[in-house]
Structure 1
């Protein structure tokens, strides 16, 4: 089997639990999902790497939540990469795939040859949870800290949820004979079970006084947590990316003494929720005069989806709150 062929565990998330350590986790493998996300734009390598890391984090975190609608991760900074946004949509019905999408906004003139994380600068990392109609969206924010986006996610869980959390991630382009290349990514998430009650107070031991995982566990919990982390430290990049290592084999290799127990595999695919109807709804707050300002010389209003690249061409006479009811004819 060559790397370009579909592997059974590509684009999947495997939930597991370490019964002897009271720790839960996820193994994620992304292949076609990343290709679907990154082919929408001609991103520089540094930006591609940041999106790949955010996509992995989003897949791992999203699958831990009993999600009825959407989990979003966002990074907003004053650096060359101004924003990264990812969405994870839980499956509508049992057995269906979850869906993911992502994009980044950046200033190409400010990018340098440094590491991807160095393109961010001062800013914040945000987790947004929307469980759909009739619920109040949740938002948690932590400052950009550490030397990777995974450190920001770990700080968020320690600071906002007081749940010890660890990520080990690997991603990059796979090269095949003949010059064919595509993205592969994989990662493991460990998280202490929620029964660990919050007890940390005051400043933490992390950067700028942020709490870290070690600040919110003690006693036997701390011993179990440290042991699981030492085992995860032995993982290799090729094991994480996993062209030839199944997630179950990886768990046995890393945690066989912790009694790993796996649950149903969750497939994930690239998917976007944009539509002409959503574009029309977003423009329904504008007057006819406002719509006229948006109209091109060709007499149409255009809109592009940053996530999937879809291009919409709409008749301005059917847009805005001044448009006749029921008017939805295209250009």
Structure 2
């Protein structure tokens, strides 16, 4: 593959449809975007892995939202990893890149040595939030932390909350090309089918952990056969095929699903992007009174704020903050 082709597929989501099976899906490749997300912080390896997986899932799920919408993933637990938060900002106009950001909050004093990344979350919940813009009520869906990975949690979320059979195959890690520094690369495939309501989906429980619904519970008959066949093919994908850069997503789809008649749509470029600004900090503090602002003010007479996503540091005059701020 030429260098030009490699660059063209990095940091993109490619939507596709399997016409023979009536299944839709997406292929994602993250390179510089994921590197930009992770280099904002000096995370331990286990935390990096969790943030990488959450970022990859967000890119795959977020591609479906409309222009200027925002989709967020929130993972909260009672273990050393207290929260993972991601945001996907839909493009402002057709053809423009979407923006992606992520961070993790964790106990920096905890001993993480030898621990599997997912085990650090403990018990908690997996949530997806969609903000359609000003004047619209945000949508939120929540399911328990379950399975052995964040991908398992996402599959359970779609089965339990949306009753949409959904599968993910992900791969991520640091890659080193000859003569270059190690950088993060990630790739994944998402499959999803819009099913008819089935007795399994409407019953008292499913075959997943703790009686939750799983993707295989939602389909039967011909739809079930189509779904099982597509998932059997997806299970043959190899890590190097997912992360590239030698295998183009279009070639991967042909290799996996050529009998299912894959049809691709326009790819969506993705970039790292943060929406923080001094003005947004001022807006978030506009509800506080003078006494509250005074408590937040440092001995040097300023108020400081740090963005968890990109690390930007803001130093603000307390006179310009809160209720009754001096706008002059």
Q: TM-score, normalised by structure 1?
A: 0.95
- Greater Cα shift, 159-168 or 315-324: 315-324
Matched, 1:173 2:174: yes
1:30 Cα deviation after fit? 0.4
Contact 1:162 1:198 in 2 (8 A): no
Matched, 1:96 2:96: yes
Q: State the distance in 1 between where 2:125 and 2:131 align.
A: 19
* Per-residue CA distance 1:273-300 (angstroms, 9 max, x = gap): 1111110011111112211111112211
1:67 Cα deviation after fit? 5.0
Match of 1:250, SS? helix
Match of 2:47, SS? helix
Find the counterpart in structure 2 of residue 87 from structure 1. Answer: 87
* Per-residue CA distance 1:59-101 (angstroms, 9 max, x = gap): 0001123354100001000011100000000001000000000
* Per-residue CA distance 1:210-246 (angstroms, 9 max, x = gap): 0001110000001000000000111000000011000
Match of 1:8, SS? helix
- Greater Cα shift, 283-292 or 180-189: 283-292
Please tell me the root mean square deviation across aligned C-alpha atoms, in Å.
1.7
* Per-residue CA distance 1:25-68 (angstroms, 9 max, x = gap): 00000011111110111000000000000001000001123354
Query: What is the total number of aligned residue pairs between the two structures?
Result: 325
Matched, 1:26 2:26: yes
Match of 2:7, SS? coil
1:6 Cα deviation after fit? 6.1
Contact 1:28 1:186 in 2 (8 A): yes
Find the counterpart in structure 1 of residue 267 from structure 2. Answer: 265
1:198 Cα deviation after fit? 5.2
Q: State the distance in 2 between where 1:292 and 1:323 align.
A: 12
Find the counterpart in structure 2 of residue 314 from structure 1. Answer: 316
Q: How does 1:137-152 map to 2 (within 5 A)?
A: 137-152=138-153
Q: 2:242 aligns with which of 240, 243, 246?
A: 240
1:317 Cα deviation after fit? 1.1
Matched, 1:299 2:275: no
Distance 1:57 1:198, change over 3 A: farther
Q: State the distance in 2 between where 1:105 and 1:217 align.
A: 38
Matched, 1:43 2:43: yes
Find the counterpart in structure 1 of residue 76 from structure 2. Answer: 76
Q: State the distance in 2 between where 1:197 and 1:104 align.
A: 37
* Per-residue CA distance 1:98-150 (angstroms, 9 max, x = gap): 00000000013322412111111000000101101111101100100000000
Find the counterpart in structure 2 of residue 56 from structure 1. Answer: 56
Contact 1:31 1:185 in 2 (8 A): yes
* Per-residue CA distance 1:233-275 (angstroms, 9 max, x = gap): 1100000001100000000000000000000000000001111
Structure 1 portions without partners, runs of 5+: none
- Greater Cα shift, 212-221 or 177-186: 177-186
Q: State the distance in 1 between where 2:277 and 2:209 align.
A: 42
Contact 2:6 2:245 in 1 (8 A): no
1:176 Cα deviation after fit? 2.9
Q: TM-score, normalised by structure 2?
A: 0.96
Matched, 1:155 2:156: yes
Contact 2:195 2:218 in 1 (8 A): no
Contact 1:21 1:258 in 2 (8 A): yes
Distance 1:67 1:41, change over 3 A: same
